[in-house]
A and B are shown apart, each in its own frame.
Chain A
Amino acid sequence: MVQTDMYEGLLAETVTVEGANGDRINAYMARPLGAGPFPAMVLAHHMPGWDEWYREATFKFANHGYVTITPNLYFRAGHGTPEDVAAKVRGEGGIPDDQAVGDLSGAMHYLRSLPYVNGKVGIFGTCSGGRHAWLTACRSKGFDAVVDCWGGRLVMTPDQLTPKSPVSPLEYAKDLTCPILGVFGNDDSNPPPAQVDQHEAELKKYNKNYEFHRYDGAGHGFFYYHAAAYRQAQAVDGWKKVFAFLEKYLT
């Protein structure tokens, strides 16, 4: 808890990490100043890209005491404004799941190599980032907590599978080894409440440690204060749930 007479300092900068296939990609990183040890977070950015909201989210987690890194999952698409790069990726039908898992796992390994990290690493994502956070937490051992905020396309039927997304993410539920927090809006069309039910049922089936919060009056992306989707009361409560969950499992 912040006190008005305490010292605070953050360091934020762009770094380079090893991602999928050994590729070097850039990442935005922010951390509290000091020797630590601090818990750490990997953020999986959303479909609109490695954008201002995710840079500010990186600050936010660091301000709450987490060494935080947000890899640029669209690095291979070239460079320009975040919107232009994200539009290019949108036009290509997104990025391969395996590549996202490799990049986010690489960021986790980078955090684990740092002397001021306490050995606990979580992962957070919204929208496509929620889906990627789930996939990475299930498939890559080394995470101690995962936060999935309204990740869509977690439940895929066989006809929806593609070379980039060859397996329905829900099929990995049995492999999850860390606690999961899910944050969803009941007015969301992707994932719709029925798919959130399926997700929850699968976690129950495999006796996983999970905590889901579903908000009335909120749709997709209700944390995004720059968008029409923003829902103030639900977002404030959702962020409280996120940080309470992370404090429980990472500190």
Chain B
Amino acid sequence: MCTMIVEKIKIDGSGKGTSEWFELEGANVSYDHPFHAPLEHALNIDFVNESMGPSARVAVELSETAARELVKTILAVLGQAEVGGHL
């Protein structure tokens, strides 16, 4: 546990785990060791429902560049939706 950089947020939505969809209640965003990505540290997002136990998790591990691009892209898509009157 080497950087200990983590933020927890409450979220609404659904995530698809290893077998089925489940209700999401939070996301843990960390910059720490990934489990799979070949990086010393990664931007990790775990979408979770803690009331369902540790296995209720949808995980992504992103490089810094990928994480920044993802943030920009999410905001751009939301911006388009807003302009289009969908929000």
Contact residues of A with B, CB < 8 Å?
47-48, 77-81, 83-95, 127-128, 152-153, 162, 165, 189-190, 219-221, 227-229
Contact = CB atoms under 8 A, between A and B. Distances in A.
B6 A47 contact: no
Given A47-B32, A91-B48, A189-B40, A80 B2 contact: no
Most buried by B among A93, A162, A219: A93
A93 to B, nearest CB: 5
Nearest to B26: A91
B57 A84 contact: yes
B84 interface: no
Contacts of A90: 1, 6, 28, 30, 32, 44, 46
A93 B48 CA distance: 15
A48 B39 CA distance: 14
A-B pairs, 4 with minimum CB distance = A91-B28, A228-B38, A80-B54, A47-B1
23 contacts: A47-B32, A48-B33, A77-B54, A78-B54, A79-B53, A79-B54, A80-B53, A81-B54, A81-B55, A84-B55, A84-B57, A87-B48, A88-B46, A88-B54, A90-B1, A90-B28, A90-B44, A95-B1, A189-B40, A190-B2, A220-B2, A221-B33, A229-B40
B78 to A, nearest CB: 25
A165 B1 CA distance: 12
Contact of A153 (B4, B8, B39, B48): B4
Contacts of B2: 47, 127-128, 152-153, 190, 220
A87 B57 contact: yes
A219 B2 CA distance: 13
B59 interface: yes
A182 to B, nearest CB: 16
Given A48-B33, A93-B4, A227-B38, A87 B50 contact: no
B21 interface: no
Given A48-B33, A189-B40, A127 B28 contact: no
Interface in B33-47: 33, 35, 38-41, 44, 46
Interface residues of B, number: 24
A77 B53 CA distance: 9
Chain A at the B interface: SS class: loop
Contacts of B44: 87, 90
A91 B4 CA distance: 9
A93 B31 CA distance: 11
Interface string B1-32: 11110101000000000000000000010101
A90 B43 CA distance: 12
A91 B46 contact: yes
B1 A89 contact: yes
Contacts of A94: 1, 4
A43 B44 CA distance: 26
Given A83-B35, A92-B6, 14 more contacts: A47-B1, A77-B54, A87-B28, A87-B44, A87-B46, A87-B59, A88-B54, A90-B1, A90-B28, A93-B4, A127-B1, A127-B33, A128-B2, A220-B2
A127 B3 CA distance: 10
